[in-house]
Amino acid sequence: MAKQDYYGARRQQDASEADIKKAYWQKAKAYHPDINPGDEVAEHKFEEVNEPTRLSDAEKRRMYDRYGHAAFEGPNGAGAGHSGFGGFGGFEDVFDSIFGGGIFGNRSGRQRTGPVPGRDLRYDLTLEFEEAAFGVRREIEFQRVEHCEACHGSGAKEGTEPVRCAHCNGTGQVQSTQNTVFGRFVNVTECPVCGGEGKIIKDKCSGCGGTGRVRKKRAISISVPAGIDDGQVLSLAGEGEAGTRGGPPGDLRVVIHVKPHKLFKRQDYDLFYELPISYAQAALGAEIELATLEEKIRYKIPEGTQTATTFRIKGKGIKRLNQSGHGDLYVQVHVQVPTKLNDEQRQALERFEELMRSGKGEKKQKGKDKKLFDKVKDAFNG
């Protein structure tokens, strides 16, 4: 079988070492057996990809340029004893470069026994609409993992101390090395004796069983600020679970849920609601009573108000969260058309309709006409 050209179809013998390595990494990643388990075609391709790595050695590259594949054939060839990864620092180094390390373990031997922060916790708190608007103080209870008071988090019986693990020399890790035709494999795993802690507790604390942590019920009082909205989160630093090996505790995240209001709808810090008014109030104008979150107020609507007209009352909305000032209140009026009329109401409307057709209804009314408008108003408001 004809052998591949180590330079590829482009036959760039002036390619730099970096170019050759880049091309190798791309193909090695695609055909590596770990990515294509059981694929014989990919395995064969991977072996072919490995052959050109010989050219990373300047002397071997010079011989290949001069003699071709014959430079590496036979017991005395330039490639005798070549593992297929010369010049790349071994198989593992190649894959550290391709995948960023981690496939064959951590070769640095760094300890895993440093401080570990505690886990954050979540608590869902449901509030009434007014509680969210004005703020409230609430007592909450939740479960969390804390340091054992009996052993102060060490896990050892009172009067004793954990000892360094002799198996891993306190690192929490053990290494195993294997030399193969593909290079040198270094595998780093958690120490089976100490479980990766680097220490062994001979006399365990009876309160926590040697873990140094226990689950307890925690009750705290929290202040919910005025203006908080549905879905917002209060973060309470240090109220989460305890850390390990001296790590800081996590946080408690309180997720706010606000019940809807029967009258108002909220948008940011503004409030909205719909108010029905009578036909006479819309036509003649009136002073009406408006509800706000804090109190009822009097508001004058002008004559000739059309249905769906919206009035803005400044400063009667929700207090701005952690700021000064409030949002606004928007009231949309809807004119109610009567569905049943008594005789007096019908007569008043019929007379009103006659005046509108004659053109007098849109003029300023005096005398009898003025009295008629009063009658219409009284008929619909009475």
Is pLDDT at 87 greater than 80 in this prediction? Answer: no
Q: What is the pTM of this model?
A: 0.61
25: CB partners within 8 A, 6+ apart: 94, 97, 98
Taking Cα atoms as reference points, which of 333, 214, 320 lies closest to residue 276? 333
How far, in Å, CA of 113 to CA of 34, rounded? 30
Neighbours of 172 (CB within 10 A): 21
The sign of the CA dihedral 241, 203, 198, 173 is: negative
Q: Under a CB-based contact definition with an 8 Å cutoff, are residues 81 and 36 in contact?
A: no
- 89-93, 114-118, 369-373: range with highest mean pLDDT: 114-118
**Per-residue pLDDT at 22:** 65
Average pLDDT, the chain: 79
pLDDT greater than 60 at residue 61: yes
User: What is the rounded distance in angstroms from the CA atom of residue 202 to the CA atom of residue 87?
Assistant: 49
pLDDT of residue 23: 67
pLDDT at 24: 65
pLDDT in tens, 115-157: 889 999 999 999 999 999 999 999 999 999 999 999 988 899 9
Q: Which of 79-93, 196-210, 228-242 has the lowest mean pLDDT?
A: 79-93
- Confidence bin at 187 (pLDDT 50/70/90): confident
Round to whole Å and give the CA distance between 35 and 23.
18
